[in-house]
Chain A
Amino acid sequence: MALEISTNPMAIGAIAARLTEEFGADLHDVHVQQPDTVVASCDRARLRDLAQRLKGDPEVGYETLNWVAGIDRITAFESVYHVYSWKTNTYLELHVEVPRATPEVDSVVAVWPAADWHERESWDMMGITYLGHPDLRRILLKDDFVGHPLRKDYVDLVENHPNA
């Protein structure tokens, strides 16, 4: 059976309304970013469960994870998930705030396997720990690198420059 790719049968506003109705308890700040993206945030404690339900939703199932990003907002970190729905041909941008004191969030590799390397990179560069990740180690920097260089408070260390 061929994969059914529809051309946006639901208007993006209707999708946002449906997400609010179905997942309103967990999804906060749902708003539309034209033309095809719904932006929302959720608590980190609810992320794993919410991801599973978002993927399995019969109307707007977000089957595909495009990327995971880490952001340093100074006051806190953010882990951002950009997922895609083949059913509605739209995107969801899911922001999860991660406190600076305990930079930990549940891994979504069990839901979207594509998150594997993206979470490794986010940990490598930003130092956000993804709990439950099968193999959380550095992906771009060398194994004995000290610190997480894309943090705003990162200070370059002599240890990281053996050839200086």
Chain B
Amino acid sequence: MTDRVPGRSKMRYPKLEHFSEPNVITTTADFIFSWARSHSVFPFTYGLACCAIEMLSSGFARFDVARYGMEVFRPTPRQCDLMIVAGTVNEKMAPVLERLYQQMSEPKWVISMGACANSGGPFYDGYNVVNGVDKIVPVDVYIPGCPPRPEALFQGLLELQEKIQQHSFVPQAPAGDGREA
């Protein structure tokens, strides 16, 4: 079930020939879990500045993030697995952001949206600005732009979907445990 869709290099979808009979699909649990997981991401509304306007705009009908199954924005970290950091992170906000990230349940991902969250952007080296959210939490996808258009956010979400699909939830046997022989 690792067939690739033309034009999108790493995204994996079930194909018609994998349906052994109507409504029955034969595949690995690993694939189907990561496939489902990548299409039901719950984003956390973490709008900090003007990028938040683009993030909100992407949720409405004109752009419609629901096409990717990601429209369920939640205001609490406990129900979310994706933090979209949209805007400038300042030193006063940094400990709050870190705490909210820790309150999110695993598995969790972070998207850094826009120049400010990527590196501080136009406020780089400001007296109260963190030079990029990756100084505080690990970032999975960086989206450039000031601010990025909703289409750019979607590109980032698709990149994240690819990344989620590559993740295996099956515990891997540690290397060198003697089973090779």
Contacts and interface: CB of A to CB of B under 8 A. Distances in A.
Contacts, number: 28
A163 B128 CA distance: 11
Interface SS, A side: loop
B92 A163 contact: no
Interface residues of B, number: 10
A145 to B, nearest CB: 7
B127 A163 contact: no
A163 B125 contact: no
Contacts of A2: none
Contact of A141 (B92, B130, B131, B136): B92
Interface string B5-37: 000000000000000000000000000000000
Interface stretch (A20-28, A72-80, A154-162): A154-162
B94 interface: yes
Nearest to B127: A149
A134 B112 CA distance: 41
A164 B128 CA distance: 11
Nearest to B98: A163
Interface of B: 91-92, 94, 125, 127-128, 130-131, 135-136
